[in-house]
A and B are shown apart, each in its own frame.
Chain A
Amino acid sequence: MNNLLAVDAEGVTKTFGSVLAVDDITVRVAAGEVYGVLGPNGAGKTTFLRMLFGLIRPDSGTVRIFGRTWDEVGVGVLDGVAGFIESPKFYPDRTGRQNLAGLALLDGGTRPGLLEEVLEIVDLTDRADRKVGGYSYGMRQRLGVAASLLREPRLLVLDEPANGLDPAGIRDMRALVKRLAGSGLTVLLSSHHMEEVEEICDNVTIMSRGAVAFHGTIAELRRMAPDPGHVLATTDDARALAVAADHPEVTVAPDADGALVVTGPRPAVSAYVAGLVRADVELLGFTLTQTPLEALFFMLTDDFDHQTLVRPVREVALR
């Protein structure tokens, strides 16, 4: 049964001095799925992924990859596993191609032509003979993907692959990850952007301060998400507030900047907006504050709400 799991991390804990970086987390990734690990800065995502790669030894807990542990098979546990942690690093004095060729040596060789193929996939063929020291951040990130694909992995582990890229780079990286995920590869992806994960992941673990705050499918997460909030700009906020009295299902309240925020189920919000029009309140703007999943993400990971919100949510989610 365990053999079916690409990743089976159980009760994994890691402390750095007095910092509890990863607190007794359990993550199971089935072969073939696309799995997201979400969390704000410092949540412990990177520390967890480093433990998968054996770069960091957990204080307690076990990490199985395709059913095997580091203690049993040593570096052999990484057979079929590739990816990168934080921004990928290479030897700056060597060209992209030389870096990949060197890493291929450490893999025990690759099949002929693969090096060119992976350069093509990440669109670096033209720049492959330049020194990596002169690469842009985005090019290095793509070379990191190429270096991972060179291992022809069954499990691809990517730690915030779009982090630090410009908008076009983010779009391309997401498309690439999506394409790879679509090819049947098991992908374990960390991110602090809900929208990056919700599009492509089947399952997510949301981490907050080292611990699991949510665990489940994107669909489950959607069901738990709060109603969307909209910022309302009108010619007459006082009248808009008065109209709200006729719509008990929506909440209308000024935010910290004094702008009105409307929250409620979608049909009720539509009815309220129609009411505003009937009451001759001119609508100047109506913009989504955050997507429901984003709102949920903040609720799950916000320090302030941690005790009050996450506990009950976690109990539901892990039931």
Chain B
Amino acid sequence: MSAARPGVVSALRWELRKLRAQHRARVVLLAALLAPVPIVVIIHGQSRPPKDTLFGRFAPDNGFALALLVLGFASQWVLPLLVAIVAGDVFASEDQHGTWKTVLTRSTSRGQIFVAKTLTAGGFAVVMLALLAASTIASSYLIVGHQPLTGLSGQVIGSHTALSLVAASWATMLPPTLGFAALAILLSVWSRNPAVGIAAPVVLGLVMGLVGALGGVEAIRPLLLTTSFEAWHGLLTQPRFTGPLVDGLLVCGGWSILSLGAAYVLLRRRDITGG
């Protein structure tokens, strides 16, 4: 007989061991760390900057602008994809390997397994975003430089403030990124298929982005997960406005709670007939 009743911590340790051994997850973290460097070098070397993109005009010669240009690009589909590679797989891989029956016939409950997997996916999202942000900001800062930044209202922002604002802007990616992680969890628990768990959030993200760009959708635009990816704009205007950040936090929280709640109910009710 087992001495102690295992808890979420035991399940979490097992999930982390599996994650550490997973190639895909390691590649994602490595890419988040290394890919910004060549991107920064290439844009720095451009003679014709992407003028139509936010901060594109100044990006080749201003490190802060460049870090924000990369941020705008990452939020299109890169973040949903990188986060879904783990979040969309952590549940469905048990279906793929037929191992639900293996883990659920031990001493850990479905609820504990659910929490452990969700924490794993969330933790991965945080680490991935932190690496991507740190690498992008550091390489832009070091390679392109830290001249004062021209804000969205044309105001000049001193280097010191600019650095904080750029870091803060990247930090605002966290709520929607976690929202996409929750969505990926729901889609993979529902579909029982890692491919769906990984691809569907990206597609949904693109669709939401498209819907948000249409006219006449003012009523639903604030409710889209992708809208929060733009909330940082308010940090770089004069005067600053943080309303969208607060709204975004609520919206992302709502998406996450609904997605995770539905995923939990699906997993709890499910008959494990496969494997």
Contact = CB atoms under 8 A, between A and B. Distances in A.
Interface of A: 16, 50, 53-57, 74-76, 78-86, 88-94, 98, 102-103, 105-111, 147, 151-152
Contacts of B275: 85-86, 89
Contacts of A80: 1
Contacts of A56: 271-273
**8 closest A-B pairs by CB:** A108-B6, A106-B106, A55-B272, A89-B98, A108-B2, A75-B109, A56-B271, A106-B108
B217 interface: no
Contacts of B104: 53-55
B2 A78 contact: no
Nearest to B273: A56
B266 interface: no
B102 A78 contact: no
A152 B6 CA distance: 16
Contact of B3 (A57, A91, A108): A108
Contact of B97 (A50, A57, A92): A92
Contacts of A57: 269, 271
B51 interface: no
Determine chain A's interface SS by DSSP, over half rule. loop
Given A75-B110, A107-B106, A151-B107, 15 more contacts: A53-B105, A75-B107, A75-B108, A79-B1, A80-B1, A81-B105, A85-B101, A85-B105, A102-B14, A105-B6, A106-B11, A106-B103, A107-B2, A108-B10, A151-B2
Interface string B17-29: 1100110000000
A82 B100 CA distance: 15
A102 B101 contact: no
B99 interface: yes
Contacts of A103: 102-103, 106
A102 B18 contact: yes
Contacts of A83: 105
B253 to A, nearest CB: 29
Most buried by A among B11, B100, B108: B108
A55 B1 contact: no
B13 interface: yes
Interface in B1-44: 1-6, 10-11, 13-14, 17-18, 21-22
- Size class of the contact patch on chain B: 20 to 34
Interface string B137-174: 00000000000000000000000000000000000000
A91 B18 contact: yes
Residue with the highest number of chain B CB atoms closer than 10 Å, among A80, A103, A106:
A106
A110 B106 CA distance: 12
A147 B101 CA distance: 12
Contacts of B273: 16, 50, 55-56
Nearest to B17: A102
A151 B1 CA distance: 6
B230 to A, nearest CB: 39
A103 B100 CA distance: 12
B96 to A, nearest CB: 10
11 contacts: A50-B101, A57-B269, A79-B107, A91-B18, A91-B97, A93-B21, A105-B6, A106-B6, A106-B11, A108-B2, A151-B106
A50 B272 contact: yes
B101 A106 contact: no
Contact of A105 (B1, B13, B101): B13
Contacts of B108: 75, 106
B103 to A, nearest CB: 6
A191 B5 CA distance: 33
B259 to A, nearest CB: 24
Nearest to B5: A108
A58 to B, nearest CB: 10
B2 A74 contact: no
Contacts of A50: 101, 271-273
Nearest to B109: A75
B101 A55 contact: yes
A108 B103 contact: no
A81 B11 CA distance: 19
Contact of B14 (A53, A55, A106): A106
Nearest to A157: B105
Given A50-B273, A91-B99, A94-B21, A82 B105 contact: yes
Interface in B69-100: 97-100
A82 B18 CA distance: 23
A54 B106 CA distance: 11
Contacts of B272: 50, 55-56
A107 B107 contact: yes
Nearest to A55: B272
Nearest to B272: A55
B271 A55 contact: yes
A142 to B, nearest CB: 15
A147 B102 contact: yes
Contacts of B271: 50, 55-57
Contact of B106 (A74, A78, A93, A94): A78
B102 A88 contact: yes
A144 B18 CA distance: 19
Contact of A94 (B4, B18, B107, B269): B18
B4 to A, nearest CB: 5
